[in-house]
Each structure stands twice: as structure tokens, then as C-alpha cells.
Structure 1
Amino acid sequence: MEKKIPQLVMAIALGVSLSAAAISPQVMAQTSGGLLTAEQMKKLHLSVEQKQAVLRLTLRTNDRILKILDRDQQRIFRNAIKEGKPTSEAINAVALRPEQKAQLSKVTQDARVEMLTILTPEQVKQLQGSR
């Protein structure tokens, strides 16, 4: 049951954010560990729809990552996310086996491709310049 609570909180946060006209700062704080940092999202001037799409993508990606990790790795990853670290930093905090690295490479590549469908070409250029 304990493992399902963070997922439930994230699902509630997602549901609240999708039903709201804008994503509240509280929801952003709860899901700050993501594919884009809150600062990047602000600088990119994302629309409400884009913010919601990024949030959904982050939740799906993090779920896929958790399925690759063992229990100890999941704990480390979740703690890093709770601390507000971006997904990439949370992954770096985990000692990965070679087969996990290959699986995670596919997950992160898929997330990057989907991110390109969410952002405008101008936002992509701006994001690439800020990394």
C-alpha cells in the first residue's frame, strides 16, 4: 500500500491539474521532478495545454523508469524526485546495470521525441540553448 501512495498523489495532482484552467504552483511543486524543470517551463512560456502535456509525459516516463528499476533503485529514484530533482538527475543518482542503461536510453529517447511534439520549434531552440 505504501508504494501506491506516491502514485495516487501524482494521479490526483494530474487530475486536478487537467481539470483546472491553469496548473497551480502547488501541483507544479508536487511534480517538480520532471523532464523540464519549473524554471525551464516558465522560461519557455508554455501554454496550459503544453504544461498539462509535459506533466502527463513526465508521469508516464517516470512510471516506465520505475518498472526498469529494482526496489532499492526505485527508492533512490523516488527520493530524488521528491527532492525536486529533474528526472535525468534522479536517474543519475541510481547505480544502473548495463541492461538497465540500455532500457533507460530507450525510455529517455522516447520522451525526447514526444517532447518535440509538445513544444513549438522556437521553444525547442530556446530549450536547447538553455541546456
Structure 2
Amino acid sequence: MACRISELVLECREPEALARFWCEVLDFVVVGREADGSVELGPREGFGGARPTLFLSACADPGPVGARLHFDVNPTDRDQGAELERLLALGARPADIGQTGEEPWHVLADPEGNVFCLLKARIREL
């Protein structure tokens, strides 16, 4: 195994309000908050466990409903650079969604154009 889904990312206007809703629905807790107002929810064991977290990304103008959700994946058995090479060889391609280039993750699109992010941290296999 080289990657696994670690987070589901949902663009939204009011992350705190949505966090209250999803925490109740999923029996999750807030595991992190970002300076931009984004909120990460997850099981009590936190990020990197058996279940992916839900990252509510603060966005003044979320995209169309079908484009608000994307996967984040983390390498499990290699570093981010090696995993990026592997994903590109499999048919992923870089995607520009307005990032600055300073982010510690890579935004990619799968062969059908679905956007996902390759994060930097290596997490354990399950």
C-alpha cells in the first residue's frame, strides 16, 4: 500500500456551524482549527487513525455542490516526492485551483479530472 485516504475536504461558508452538525452526526470531535477559520473533525483518536477526518475548509464562495468535496491522501511507505512521482506515472496530473505554490501539499487531478491533494506527512498502513 502506498497511500490511503486520510481526510475528506468540504468547502463551506461557515465551518464552525457545519462542524457542530457533523460532530453530532458522526460522533466526531474537533481535532484542529486553522487561522483561516477552517475546522477539522475526526474520531477521538484524531488524524491518522482508521477513519478519515473531515476537514471543513473555509471558503467565501464554495464551488458548485458537486465540486466542494475532494480527497486528501498521505503516503504510507515512501516520502511525498516519491509518492508524487508514482501518482504522476499512474496518470495523475498537476491541477491549478489557485494555490500559491508555497503549500506543503500537491494538488493533482485523477485521469477523469477529479481533484485530490497529496499531503506531506507519512501515516501508517492499516
TM-score of the superposed pair, with normalisation by structure 1: 0.25
More helix by share: 1
More strand by share: 2
TM-score of the superposed pair, with normalisation by structure 2: 0.26
